[in-house]
Structure 1
Amino acid sequence: MKAPTSYKEVQRYKQLMARFYNRRDRIRQFKEGDLVLRLFKASRPKKQDKLNPKWKRPYRVRRVIGPGTYQLEELSGKVIKHTWHGIYLKTYYT
Protein backbone atom coordinates (compact mmCIF):
# COMPACT_ATOMS: atom_id res chain seq x y z
CA MET A 1 0.00 0.00 0.00
CA LYS A 2 1.43 3.36 -0.98
CA ALA A 3 1.61 6.19 1.53
CA PRO A 4 -1.41 8.54 1.61
CA THR A 5 -0.69 11.92 0.07
CA SER A 6 -3.90 13.97 0.23
CA TYR A 7 -6.01 14.93 3.24
CA LYS A 8 -8.88 12.68 2.09
CA GLU A 9 -6.55 9.70 1.73
CA VAL A 10 -5.16 10.28 5.23
CA GLN A 11 -8.68 10.44 6.70
CA ARG A 12 -9.70 7.27 4.85
CA TYR A 13 -6.55 5.51 6.07
CA LYS A 14 -7.32 6.54 9.68
CA GLN A 15 -10.87 5.21 9.35
CA LEU A 16 -9.61 1.89 8.01
CA MET A 17 -7.10 1.54 10.84
CA ALA A 18 -9.73 2.44 13.46
CA ARG A 19 -12.16 -0.09 12.00
CA PHE A 20 -9.43 -2.77 12.01
CA TYR A 21 -8.54 -2.04 15.65
CA ASN A 22 -12.13 -1.77 16.90
CA ARG A 23 -13.10 -5.03 15.24
CA ARG A 24 -10.90 -6.93 17.71
CA ASP A 25 -11.60 -4.72 20.73
CA ARG A 26 -14.79 -5.91 22.43
CA ILE A 27 -15.97 -4.70 25.83
CA ARG A 28 -17.89 -7.36 27.67
CA GLN A 29 -21.35 -6.44 28.90
CA PHE A 30 -22.65 -7.73 32.24
CA LYS A 31 -25.89 -7.36 34.19
CA GLU A 32 -26.41 -7.07 37.93
CA GLY A 33 -26.11 -10.49 39.55
CA ASP A 34 -23.81 -11.99 36.88
CA LEU A 35 -20.84 -14.00 38.12
CA VAL A 36 -17.51 -12.77 36.77
CA LEU A 37 -13.79 -13.43 37.14
CA ARG A 38 -11.39 -10.51 37.57
CA LEU A 39 -8.00 -10.27 35.87
CA PHE A 40 -5.32 -10.77 38.52
CA LYS A 41 -2.82 -8.20 37.21
CA ALA A 42 -5.54 -5.52 37.12
CA SER A 43 -5.28 -5.25 40.91
CA ARG A 44 -1.58 -4.31 40.58
CA PRO A 45 0.14 -7.13 42.43
CA LYS A 46 3.73 -6.40 43.30
CA LYS A 47 5.05 -9.56 41.70
CA GLN A 48 3.36 -11.95 39.35
CA ASP A 49 4.99 -15.27 38.66
CA LYS A 50 4.12 -17.02 35.47
CA LEU A 51 2.59 -19.92 37.40
CA ASN A 52 0.13 -17.73 39.33
CA PRO A 53 -3.49 -17.81 38.15
CA LYS A 54 -4.37 -15.09 35.66
CA TRP A 55 -7.98 -14.73 36.85
CA LYS A 56 -9.15 -14.24 40.42
CA ARG A 57 -12.07 -15.99 42.15
CA PRO A 58 -15.68 -15.42 41.12
CA TYR A 59 -17.37 -12.17 42.04
CA ARG A 60 -20.94 -10.99 41.60
CA VAL A 61 -21.75 -7.79 39.72
CA ARG A 62 -23.39 -5.64 42.36
CA ARG A 63 -24.12 -2.55 40.30
CA VAL A 64 -23.62 -1.27 36.77
CA ILE A 65 -22.03 2.17 37.21
CA GLY A 66 -21.82 3.18 33.56
CA PRO A 67 -21.14 1.67 30.16
CA GLY A 68 -18.48 -0.95 30.81
CA THR A 69 -17.92 0.00 34.49
CA TYR A 70 -19.03 -2.27 37.33
CA GLN A 71 -19.02 -2.50 41.09
CA LEU A 72 -18.33 -6.01 42.38
CA GLU A 73 -19.03 -7.93 45.54
CA GLU A 74 -17.70 -11.20 46.85
CA LEU A 75 -20.05 -14.16 46.97
CA SER A 76 -20.24 -13.72 50.74
CA GLY A 77 -21.75 -10.23 50.19
CA LYS A 78 -18.69 -8.11 51.00
CA VAL A 79 -18.55 -5.11 48.64
CA ILE A 80 -15.29 -4.42 46.78
CA LYS A 81 -14.29 -0.73 47.08
CA HIS A 82 -12.98 -0.17 43.58
CA THR A 83 -14.95 -0.16 40.35
CA TRP A 84 -13.77 -2.34 37.47
CA HIS A 85 -13.88 -1.89 33.73
CA GLY A 86 -15.32 -4.65 31.56
CA ILE A 87 -12.00 -5.39 29.87
CA TYR A 88 -10.67 -6.72 33.19
CA LEU A 89 -13.65 -9.05 33.73
CA LYS A 90 -14.91 -12.20 32.08
CA THR A 91 -17.95 -14.38 32.59
CA TYR A 92 -17.68 -17.14 35.17
CA TYR A 93 -19.47 -20.31 34.06
CA THR A 94 -20.58 -22.75 36.75
Structure 2
Amino acid sequence: MIKDSLDFAEEHRDQALLRIQNYQQLAAKYYNKRTFSRSFAKGDLVLRKVFENTREVNAGKLGANGEGPYIITMIVKPGVYRLAAMDGTEILRSWNSINLKRFYY
Protein backbone atom coordinates (compact mmCIF):
# COMPACT_ATOMS: atom_id res chain seq x y z
CA MET A 1 0.00 0.00 0.00
CA ILE A 2 2.80 2.41 0.78
CA LYS A 3 4.49 1.58 -2.52
CA ASP A 4 1.23 2.27 -4.37
CA SER A 5 0.85 5.66 -2.73
CA LEU A 6 4.48 6.49 -3.58
CA ASP A 7 3.81 5.62 -7.21
CA PHE A 8 0.83 7.97 -7.31
CA ALA A 9 2.60 10.81 -5.46
CA GLU A 10 4.26 12.12 -8.63
CA GLU A 11 0.96 11.96 -10.53
CA HIS A 12 -0.76 13.91 -7.76
CA ARG A 13 2.00 16.53 -7.89
CA ASP A 14 1.58 16.85 -11.67
CA GLN A 15 -2.19 17.23 -11.33
CA ALA A 16 -1.74 19.88 -8.63
CA LEU A 17 0.73 21.74 -10.84
CA LEU A 18 -1.76 21.73 -13.72
CA ARG A 19 -4.51 23.05 -11.44
CA ILE A 20 -2.22 25.85 -10.23
CA GLN A 21 -1.28 26.80 -13.79
CA ASN A 22 -4.93 26.83 -14.89
CA TYR A 23 -5.86 29.02 -11.94
CA GLN A 24 -3.03 31.46 -12.65
CA GLN A 25 -4.02 31.71 -16.32
CA LEU A 26 -7.65 32.42 -15.40
CA ALA A 27 -6.60 35.04 -12.83
CA ALA A 28 -4.31 36.75 -15.37
CA LYS A 29 -7.07 36.71 -18.00
CA TYR A 30 -9.53 38.27 -15.53
CA TYR A 31 -7.04 40.96 -14.50
CA ASN A 32 -5.94 41.82 -18.04
CA LYS A 33 -9.54 42.13 -19.19
CA ARG A 34 -10.00 45.14 -16.91
CA THR A 35 -6.69 46.92 -17.53
CA PHE A 36 -5.92 49.28 -20.36
CA SER A 37 -2.70 50.69 -21.65
CA ARG A 38 -2.17 54.37 -22.16
CA SER A 39 -0.32 55.23 -25.30
CA PHE A 40 0.82 58.69 -26.26
CA ALA A 41 2.38 60.17 -29.38
CA LYS A 42 5.30 62.53 -29.67
CA GLY A 43 4.07 66.08 -29.02
CA ASP A 44 1.10 65.10 -26.83
CA LEU A 45 0.46 67.09 -23.67
CA VAL A 46 0.36 65.09 -20.44
CA LEU A 47 0.09 65.60 -16.70
CA ARG A 48 2.58 63.86 -14.43
CA LYS A 49 1.41 62.13 -11.24
CA VAL A 50 2.23 63.97 -8.00
CA PHE A 51 4.21 61.87 -5.53
CA GLU A 52 4.67 62.35 -1.80
CA ASN A 53 8.03 64.08 -2.19
CA THR A 54 6.64 66.60 -4.72
CA ARG A 55 3.26 67.12 -3.05
CA GLU A 56 2.38 70.62 -1.91
CA VAL A 57 2.86 71.08 1.84
CA ASN A 58 -0.40 71.40 3.84
CA ALA A 59 -2.53 71.00 0.69
CA GLY A 60 -4.52 68.12 2.21
CA LYS A 61 -6.91 66.09 0.13
CA LEU A 62 -7.70 69.06 -2.12
CA GLY A 63 -4.10 69.29 -3.38
CA ALA A 64 -3.24 68.77 -7.03
CA ASN A 65 -3.07 65.20 -8.33
CA GLY A 66 -1.05 66.10 -11.41
CA GLU A 67 1.85 68.37 -12.33
CA GLY A 68 2.30 69.95 -15.68
CA PRO A 69 1.39 70.05 -18.48
CA TYR A 70 4.45 68.48 -20.09
CA ILE A 71 5.19 67.69 -23.72
CA ILE A 72 6.24 64.20 -24.79
CA THR A 73 9.53 64.63 -26.64
CA MET A 74 10.56 61.02 -27.21
CA ILE A 75 9.13 57.51 -26.98
CA VAL A 76 11.83 55.40 -25.32
CA LYS A 77 9.83 52.18 -25.76
CA PRO A 78 6.10 51.43 -25.66
CA GLY A 79 4.79 52.81 -22.38
CA VAL A 80 7.96 54.79 -21.51
CA TYR A 81 8.30 58.45 -22.46
CA ARG A 82 10.71 61.37 -22.15
CA LEU A 83 9.10 64.67 -21.14
CA ALA A 84 9.88 68.36 -21.43
CA ALA A 85 8.31 71.33 -19.67
CA MET A 86 6.28 73.79 -21.71
CA ASP A 87 9.30 76.13 -21.91
CA GLY A 88 11.37 73.33 -23.51
CA THR A 89 13.54 72.23 -20.57
CA GLU A 90 13.99 68.46 -20.57
CA ILE A 91 12.94 66.38 -17.55
CA LEU A 92 15.91 64.30 -16.39
CA ARG A 93 14.39 60.83 -16.38
CA SER A 94 11.88 58.92 -18.45
CA TRP A 95 8.34 58.28 -17.20
CA ASN A 96 6.09 55.23 -17.38
CA SER A 97 2.62 55.69 -18.87
CA ILE A 98 1.06 54.58 -15.57
CA ASN A 99 2.22 57.88 -14.06
CA LEU A 100 0.95 60.04 -16.93
CA LYS A 101 -2.50 61.32 -17.90
CA ARG A 102 -3.50 63.02 -21.13
CA PHE A 103 -3.93 66.78 -20.75
CA TYR A 104 -6.93 68.29 -22.50
CA TYR A 105 -7.12 72.05 -22.90
> So what's the TM-score if we normalise by structure 1?
0.82
Q: 1:44 to 1:16 in 2, by over 3 A?
A: farther
More strand by share: 1
More helix by share: 2
For 1:1-94, list aligned pairs within 5 A.
6-41=16-51, 44-45=53-54, 49-94=60-105
> Which runs of no fewer than 5 residues in structure 1 stay unpaired?
none
1:68, distance to aligned residue in structure 2 (A): 0.6
> Distance in 2 between the 1:82 and 1:44 partners?
16
- Coordinate RMSD, CA, aligned: 1.9
Q: Secondary structure at the match of 1:78?
A: coil
Number of aligned positions between the proteins: 89
> Which runs of no fewer than 5 residues in structure 2 stay unpaired?
1-14
> Distance in 2 between the 1:23 and 1:49 partners?
34
> Distance in 1 between the 2:53 and 2:48 partners?
12
Q: Percent identity?
A: 35
> Distance in 2 between the 1:73 and 1:26 partners?
25
